[in-house]
Structure 1
Amino acid sequence: MSAGVVIEKAMVEDRDALEALIGRCYAKVYPGWYEADILENALPAMLRIDPKLLESGRYFKAIDDGTIVGCGGWSHATPGTGDKVGATGHVRHFATEPGQMRTGVGSAILERCVSDALDSGMTRLQCFSSLPAEAFYERHGFERVQEVTVMLGESIPFPAILMQRVLV
């Protein structure tokens, strides 16, 4: 990661730039891991950031020389259901600018999320990892729990992996 990269809370007014970044990232990473028809149906739903997440103060952006080069966050509420289960947080909506992948940007955001979750009393984090992101989360102490199908909206199934990291 460049010495000039700063991790900040994302703001509602960052929405368009963040969603465009997520689109570029997923368009680069997902082909080859998912069939074209799955991506055609799933990507439009995956590119939208939950407004509650963006407003929570728990969604972050990485800035390098004035440009957003990464994003990601966490919530106490389970994605899709909004349920809160004990002291379990949920890693959400990570993406890195394709030219900045494997430079530490995603790692810096994830560690900010871990620190923030610990400060909020969470004892573990879970995520619904995409297939290509599993290795990233494993490098950061997450373990595979099981393969799952995440429903995007009411009718779009997306293969993923439920992963978990114990924090304390």
Structure 2
Amino acid sequence: MSLTYRLAQLSDIPALEALIALSTRTLQAAYYSPAQIAGALGTVFGVDSQLIHDGTYFVAETDGLPVACGGWSRRRTLYGSDQNKTGPDPLRDPQTEPAMIRAFFVHPDHAREGIGRHLLHLCEDAAHEAGFQRLEMIATLAGEPLYHACGYAVLDRFDISLVNGHPMPVVRMGK
């Protein structure tokens, strides 16, 4: 398998949305109910094109097909897709605020191959190069073990209120 990593482009959005849906329905199924997954897809789980515009969203691909994606953000948004946007997304101050790790998804056939970990390292390096000293994320329950293994600590646990009224437990983690 020839794996390459690159910055995402706007033309990747349809393939990334399909990858996100497949990843979510498969890899999150042991942690969230079908109703929670349905309520999260498209709003909480989806492409935030601002990350692509900012040059902070990465794609791992093999044979020209995305098998994973993930990014970081210098913006205030904590999570969510374009459908979840309500207005401008101001920048964070790298001297006083953390960069946010955002929107990590892996194709189920490529889970636990180290691809997500490599994407995370790319994001961490880029955020540090941009002047950020701290990193935070809103992790899913399925993602928590990976992030913990990569040195992130639990800062808080809370529920996201989904569009269909179901709560979705998540974990705020930091490094």
TM-score by length of 2: 0.85
Q: Residue 162 of structure 1 is aligned with which of 154, 163, 172?
A: 172
CA distance in 1, matches of 2:33, 2:147: 22
Which residue of 1 is the match for residue 23 of structure 2? 25
Letter in 2 for 1:95: F
CA distance in 2, matches of 1:119, 1:18: 26
Which residue of 1 is the match for residue 41 of structure 2? 43
What's the CA shift for 1:154? 10
Task: Identify unmatched segments of 5+ residues in structure 1.
Answer: none
Which residue of 1 is the match for residue 157 of structure 2? 147
Q: Residue 69 of structure 2 is aligned with which of 71, 74, 77?
A: 71
Count the aligned residue pairs: 163
CA distance in 1, matches of 2:97, 2:131: 7
Letter in 1 for 2:32: Y
Q: Residue 131 of structure 2 is aligned with which of 118, 121, 125?
A: 121
Q: Residue 98 of structure 1 is aligned with which of 85, 103, 108?
A: 108
CA distance in 1, matches of 2:137, 2:162: 15
- Does the CA-based 8 Å contact 1:25-1:98 persist in structure 2? yes
Letter in 1 for 2:105: A
Q: Residue 122 of structure 2 is aligned with which of 104, 112, 117?
A: 112
Which structure's residues are more often strand, by fraction?
Answer: 1
Task: Identify unmatched segments of 5+ residues in structure 2.
Answer: 79-85
- Judge which range, 101-110 or 148-157, deviates more: 148-157
Which residue of 1 is the match for residue 11 of structure 2? 13
Please state if 1:138 is matched with 2:136. no
CA distance in 2, matches of 1:46, 1:155: 13
SS at 2:135 equivalent: strand
Per-residue CA distance 1:99-119 (angstroms, 9 max, x = gap): 111111111111000110010
Distance 1:153 1:38, change over 3 A: closer
Distance 1:153 1:77, change over 3 A: farther
CA distance in 2, matches of 1:52, 1:154: 25
CA distance in 2, matches of 1:102, 1:148: 26
Letter in 2 for 1:31: A
CA distance in 2, matches of 1:155, 1:76: 29
Per-residue CA distance 1:7-41 (angstroms, 9 max, x = gap): 10000010010111111111101113112222222
